[in-house]
Amino acid sequence: MSAPRFWREINQRYNLVGTECGNCGKKYFPIRSVCPECHRESIGKMKKVKFSGNGKVFSYTVIHVGSSMFQMQTPYIMAIIELDEGPRITGQIIDCETKDVKIGMPVESVFRKIGEDGKSGTIYYGYKFRLMK
Amino acid sequence: MRDVAVIGVGVTKFGELWDKSLRGLIVEAGLEAMHDSGVTSKDVDALYGGNMSSGLFVSQEHTAALIGDFAGLASRHIPATRVEDACASGGVALRQGYISVASGIHDVVIVGGVEKMTDVSESLATDALASAGDREWESFLGVTFPGLYAMMARRHMHEYKTTKEQLGAVAVKNHRNGALNPKAQYQKEITLEQVLNAPMVAEPLGLYDCSPISDGAAALILCPLERARKFTDNPVKIIASAQASDTLSLHSRRDICTMDATVAAARNVYRQANKKPKDIDLVEVHDCFTITEIVAIEDLGFVKKGEGGKASEEGLTALNAEISVNPSGGLKSKGHPVGATGVAQAVEVITQLRGEAGKRQVKNARVGMTHNIGGSGATAVIHIFEAI
Amino acid sequence: MVGIVSYGGYVPRYRIETKEIARVWGKDESIGKGLGVFSKSVPGPDEDVATISVEAARNAMKKCSVNPGEIGAVYVGSESHPYAVKPTSTIVAEAIGAGPNLTAADYEFACKAGTAAIQTCMGLVSSGMIKYGLAIGSDTSQGAPGDALEYSASAGGAAFLIGKENVIAEINKTYSFTTDTPDFWRREGEKYPSHGGRFTGEPAYFKHTMNCAKGLFERTGTKPSDYKYAVFHQPNGKFPVNVGKMLGFTNEQIKTGLLTPRIGNTYSGSTPLGLAVILDVASPGDRIFAVSYGSGAGSDGFDITVTEKIMGIDRNPTVESFIADSKIIDYATYVRYRKKLWLGGE
C-alpha cells in the first residue's frame, strides 16, 4: 500500500472514526457517504463519529496460513467484532492464547502495528483488539 | 428475449499444470468447445472471458483480447470482453454471454473462464485471493480468504450446532465424486479421519476443508435455441439466469451464516424457470470451502437454514441421493482455478444432462443448476439448465 | 505551579527470563541474580515505540478530562524510534486526537530522552507558550544476541501530561547534570548498540546520577528523608539500589519505583515508568525524588510533590496491571518477536 493510500485513512485506522446517518441514526464503519437504509434521504447528512472501540466477539478464527505481511505472526486470531455502537468490523485479537477466545467475549481496541511496506517503506498502524481484562 | 442453448463444452484437466500457460489453457478449452459444438471461427460473434486476477497471478491484463487472439479469432475482429467478479467471474461471463444472445445482439458466443494460479508463490496466491474481500478493511488487517469462511463456519457452528465432522462430510463426499472425474485435480477418496486430522489453515477449517490452488480453463458455446440443432444433436437449454450482490465485506452482512446474494438470485431463477428446489436433479454449488457448500444448499432451498451440516453428514447430498450436489467433485476435489470455476460448473451440468458423465452420471438427470460465488458472498450467480 | 496533570504507563505482555537467555548462551543462571534482573518485557511482533507510546498516552488521557485539542506539544523520547527519519510524536498526536495546532518532535538522549521531554514541556507550559504538553519516554531497546545488554534491554513507556491546572503532582524543581561521556552508543545504521563495559558504571551512571541528585538537593534545600519515594534510572537491579544508598535513601524509599528486576531496563521508559508506578500508589503530600540517566551522558533530576487532586482521578489502568498480565516466552519465540531473524524472501 502506497503512503498516500494509507495516509488518507489514518483517522479511521488510528481512532476508529466512522459515520452516523443523520436521518436514521445508524452508525457505520468504515466511512460511508450514503446510508444503505436511507439512500437519498441520507445524502449530505452523514456525519463523522468516533467509536469507543469496545465490543464483543461475533465470530473468530485462528489463522495458520497468513497472508504475506502477517507470516511472522502465525498463528494469529482474526475476528469480527460487534462494536457497542452497532457496526461490525474485522480486526485481529492480540495478547491472549488462541484457545482463550470465545464468541460473545467483550473486547477493547488497542493501537498496534498492522504491517509495513517492506523493509524500507512506511509502517502501517491501526486498531486491533484485546479481551477485556 | 430469445431462448438460449449451450451447444458445446470444453474443459481442461484442473491441477498444477506446470507446463501450461494462461493462454494455452483457455485456448485448449475453447477449441474443445468449438469442436464439440461444430461451430467454426466464422460462426463466432463475440467472446466473454471470465478471469479473476490474471494481473496478480501472471501480470497480464486485457485477457479477453489475448484469448481471442490465440484462439485465432483476431482477424475476425469480434468483440472480446473480460468479465471479473472474483471467483464468480466465470459464472458471470456465462450470464453476459447468455444476455447477449437472448437479447438478439449476438448469435454465436463463446464463453471462457480461466485462471493460471501456480505461477506465483503460495503466499502471493493467498494475497491475490484475499483481494476478493475488502482490501482496506478486511485483508489489509490480516484476514485471509480461508479466514473469512472460517469465521462463517465458526458462527454457523455457534448458531446451528454444526460440527467439524459435518464440515468434513462435505469434503469426503466431494472427493468421492471427484475420484470418478478424469478432469479433477484430486482423483482420490479421502476419509473423515484424514479431514479432521489435517493441518489447520484457518480454524476450524483444515487443509481438507479448503479447495486447492489450481490452474485450469473451461469454455461453452452459446447460440439461440432455434438455431441450436443446426450445430449439434444435443443442445441444452438455459432456462434461468440470475445474479445478485451484497456487501463486499463479510462483517457488514445482515447474517454471516446466510448469503443473501444467493437467496436473492435463487428466488429469481426458481421464478424464471418455474421450478422448485425439489425439481433440480443435480447442482454444482460453490464449495470453495466445506462450509460454503453447507451454506449454499441451505440458501438454495435444498434444506432448511441450519440443517446443511446434518444433511451432508446423513448423505442426502451424495451422488444419486436426495439431491446430487457437486457430482464433478466440486471446487474441493475437481479444483478451483477461480475464473474458470463458474464455466466449469456449467460444463459439468451440461455433460450430466447429456448423459455423458460416465461413472459419476446422475441418473435421469433432466434439470441441473450451477451456483457460483464471488468473494465471501458479495456476488452470487445462478443458472438452471434443462435437457431438451 | 507547573506539574503533572495526568500520566499513563504501558508495558508489553511478553516476558523472557534471564535464566532462559543464559541457557541459550551457555552462561550460568546466576547471571540474572548478579544483574538483579530476573525477567524482562518483550514487545509483541506488532509493537514498537509508536504503539507503546500511544498506549501510554491514551492511558494518560483516560485519567483526565483534558481536551486533546488543548495539547500544544508532543515529545516522544526514545532510542528505538521506528523510523530514523519521520517522527513518532506525530503518530501519537494523531492517535490521541491532538493537533493539528501543536508542535511535536522526537527526542533521543539514550535512556533520558523521556525526562528531557518532560523538561521541555515544563518550559513551554511555564512560559505560557502552550497550555498542556505531552512528554513520553518509551523504548523497545536493543541488545545484541549474547551481549550483556540482552539480559536487560526491554520495552515499555510512560506518558506525562504537563500543565498548570489541576495538577496531581507539582514539579517543584528540575536540574540536570550533563557532560560528554561516550559510555554507550549506537552508530547510524547499526542494529545494536555498543558500550564501554565497566566504563558505563563509575564515570558514567554513578557520576552523573550522583552529581545531579546532589545538585538537586542543593537547589531545593532538601535531604533524602524529606522524600517518601525515590526513583533512579534502572539499567539493572543493582545500580539504582547502590546509588540510592550512596545518596542516603533507604530501600523502603526505592523499592516502589524499582521495576527492573521484573521487566528489565526499559531505557527511555525506565525512570518515567518508575515515576508512574509511584504515582499509582502515592498520596497527597508525598514527595518524590526522581533522577534519570542517559548515556552520553547526563541526568535529569526532579523534585515532585503529590497534590490533593490525585484523589480525584481513577488511576487505572495501573502500571502494575500491565506488569502482572504477563506471559513467559522462550528464547526462540523472543527471537521471532524481536525480528532477530528474517523469513526467506524478505
* Contact B182/A at CB under 8 A: no
Q: How distant is the Cα of B81 from the closest Cα of chain A, in angstroms?
A: 29
CATH domain A53-131 topology: OB fold (Dihydrolipoamide Acetyltransferase, E2P) (2.40.50)
Of A62, A89, A91, the CB nearest to B203: A62
* Contact A14/C at CB under 8 A: yes
Any chains having at least 3 CB pairs less than 8 A from chain B are A
For residue B224, the surrounding DSSP H or E stretch is strand B215-224
Q: Give Cα separations from C226 to B208, C221, C303 (angstroms).
A: 70, 10, 10
pLDDT tens for residues B325-375? 999 999 999 999 999 999 999 999 999 999 999 999 999 999 999 999 999
What does the pLDDT read at residue C342? 57
pLDDT tens for residues B7-19? 999 999 999 999 9
Distance CA B199, CA B194 (A): 10
- List of domains in chain B: 4-119+214-236 (3.40.47.10), 122-211+238-387 (3.40.47.10)
Check if the beta carbon of residue C155 is closer than 8 Å to that of residue C43: yes
Closest Cα to residue B351, out of B19, B29, B36, B16?
B36
Query: ω before A36 within 30° of 0 (cis)?
Result: no
Dihedral sign of CA atoms C145, C149, C150, C151 in order = positive
The verdict on a CB contact (< 8 Å) between A90 and B130 is no
Distance CA B116, CA B110 (A): 20
The verdict on a CB contact (< 8 Å) between C48 and A114 is no
Taking contacts as CB-CB distances below 8 angstroms, the residues of chain A near C46 are 73, 92, 94, 112-114, 128
Q: What are phi and psi of C56, to 5 degrees?
A: -65, -45
What does the pLDDT read at residue C343? 52
What does the pLDDT read at residue A49? 97
Taking contacts as CB-CB distances below 8 angstroms, the residues of chain C near A73 are 45-46
Taking contacts as CB-CB distances below 8 angstroms, the residues of chain C near A7 are none
The verdict on a CB contact (< 8 Å) between C13 and A119 is no
Mean pLDDT score, A38-62: 97
Tell me the sheet residues that pair with B289: B210
Of A15, A112, A122, the CB nearest to C47: A112
Question: CA A107: distance to chain centroid?
Answer: 12
Question: CA C129: distance to chain centroid?
Answer: 26
Full DSSP string of B289-343: BHHHHHHHHHHTTSS-TT-HHHHHHTTTTSTTSSSEE-TT-HHHHH---HHHHHH
CATH 3.40.50.2000 fits C170-309, yes or no: no
pLDDT of B126 > 90? The answer is no
Taking contacts as CB-CB distances below 8 angstroms, the residues of chain A near C48 are 113, 123
pLDDT band at A2 (very low <50, low <70, confident <90, very high): confident
Any chains having at least 3 CB pairs less than 8 A from chain C are A
Q: How distant is the Cα of A5 from the closest Cα of chain B, in angstroms?
A: 9
Query: For chain C, which residues make up each domain, given as ranges?
Result: 3-168+314-337, 170-309
Exposure letters B150-181 (e unless 16+ CB within 10 A, then b):
bbbbbbbbeebebebebbbbbbbbbbbbbbbb
Q: How far apart are the first and last CA of chain A?
A: 34
Q: How distant is the Cα of A128 from the closest Cα of chain B, in angstroms?
A: 9
* Contact A98/C at CB under 8 A: no
C3-168+314-337 and C170-309, same CATH topology? yes
Distance CA C25, CA C270 (A): 26
- Contacts of residue B271, defined as CB under 8 A and 6 or more positions apart, other chains included, come to none
Of A50, A72, A133, the CB nearest to C336: A72
pLDDT tens for residues A86-131? 999 999 999 999 999 999 999 999 999 999 998 899 999 999 999 9
Check if the beta carbon of residue B175 is closer than 8 Å to that of residue B186: yes
The β-bridge relationship of strands C103-107 and C132-140 is unpaired
The verdict on a CB contact (< 8 Å) between A67 and B127 is yes
Percentage of chain B modeled with pLDDT above 90: 98
Distinct helix (H) and strand (E) counts, chain C:
12, 14
The verdict on a CB contact (< 8 Å) between B143 and A63 is yes
Helices B290-299 and B260-273, axial angle in degrees (round to 10): 50
For residue B164, the surrounding DSSP H or E stretch is helix B164-178
Tell me the sheet residues that pair with B367: B386
pLDDT tens for residues B272-323? 999 999 999 999 999 999 999 999 999 999 999 999 999 999 999 999 999 9
What does the pLDDT read at residue B122? 87
What does the pLDDT read at residue C345? 43
Closest Cα to residue C138, out of C253, C270, C325?
C270
Distance CA B146, CA B335 (A): 15
Check if the beta carbon of residue B271 is closer than 8 Å to that of residue B239: no
pLDDT tens for residues B65-112? 999 999 999 999 999 999 999 999 999 999 999 999 999 999 999 999
Residue of A nearest to B125 (CA): A67
pLDDT tens for residues B190-228? 999 999 999 999 999 999 999 999 999 999 999 999 999
If contacts are CB pairs under 8 Å, which of residues 49-78 in chain A contact chain B?
58-71, 73, 75-76, 78
Check if the beta carbon of residue C125 is closer than 8 Å to that of residue C162: yes
Alpha helices in B103-144 (DSSP H): 122-130
The verdict on a CB contact (< 8 Å) between A113 and C55 is no
* Contact A110/C at CB under 8 A: yes
User: What is the average pLDDT value for chain A, to the nearest integer?
Assistant: 95
* Contact A94/B at CB under 8 A: no
pLDDT of B47 > 90? The answer is yes
Distance CA C109, CA C293 (A): 9
The verdict on a CB contact (< 8 Å) between C50 and A72 is no
Q: What are phi and psi of C76, to 5 degrees?
A: -115, 120
Q: How distant is the Cα of A133 from the closest Cα of chain B, in angstroms?
A: 23
Distance CA B189, CA B176 (A): 5
Taking contacts as CB-CB distances below 8 angstroms, the residues of chain C near A53 are none
Q: Give Cα separations from C149 to C153, C184, C236 (angstroms).
A: 6, 11, 10
Q: How distant is the Cα of A59 from the closest Cα of chain C, in angstroms?
A: 22
Residue of C nearest to A120 (CA): C83
What does the pLDDT read at residue C341? 63
In chain C, % helix, strand, coil (3-state, to 5) comes to 40, 25, 35
Question: CA C17: distance to chain centroid?
Answer: 20
CATH domain C3-168+314-337 topology: Peroxisomal Thiolase; Chain A, domain 1 (3.40.47)
Of A10, A71, A94, the CB nearest to C94: A10
- Contacts of residue C52, defined as CB under 8 A and 6 or more positions apart, other chains included, come to C10, C12, C43, C138, C139, C140, C155, C156, C157, C269
- Active-site residue numbers of B? 87, 336
Distance CA B133, CA B140 (A): 10
Low-confidence ranges of chain C (pLDDT < 50): 344-346
The β-bridge relationship of strands B379-387 and C3-10 is unpaired
| Sheet order of strands, A46-50 included | A27-28, A17-21, A46-50
